Homo-oligomer: A and B are copies of this chain.
């Protein structure tokens, strides 16, 4: 997605330890106009799959999924990273290791929000080692719903997540795939 790549080149900041900061437009401050273009692009890629529900994970995925959901005309369900009094009934969960926070946790969703006849599109901001996406896919599998696709805004192509997720047979599409960002220079895969 050319507009997105241009924005990454213009505003993303490369930090040590393979950290790519896009917090001026994607995950702390949110450029809603850009998110609309991202939503349209996801609809171009997955719009013919009769998606019934978009599934994401708090917090950064929520804005992207919600704006995109307007094009699919479906509800969003977001998985939670911490237990709260508000979670009740049957809970589906799967473990995740966070790359940016250096912690492990279960992602959780109330089972009643994913149905066996759902065709689910997972949406998230980043794919690096793939832990969060594989946990979401595992939850979809537990629910009995069909995982129709996974749309990622930025894939770090030099990390193993994309390969792992595709080897599971998941219909993964990333809007920008970064091949390398050595010495702060961002190079995209074609």
Contact = CB atoms under 8 A, between A and B. Distances in A.
B63 A76 contact: yes
Interface string A20-39: 01011001111111011000
A134 interface: no
Q: What's the number of copies of this chain in the assembled complex?
A: 2
A69 interface: yes
A86 interface: yes
Interface stretch (A43-51, A77-85, A152-160, A169-177): A77-85
Contacts of A77: 28-30
A59 B100 CA distance: 17
Contact of A27 (B29, B86, B88, B102): B86
Interface in A64-79: 66-67, 69-70, 73-78
A26 to B, nearest CB: 11
A63 B80 CA distance: 14
Interface of A: 15, 17, 19, 21, 23-24, 27-33, 35-36, 58-59, 62-63, 66-67, 69-70, 73-78, 80, 82, 84-88, 100-102, 109-110, 113
Given A24-B113, A63-B66, A82-B101, 6 more contacts: A15-B88, A19-B86, A28-B78, A29-B75, A30-B78, A63-B76
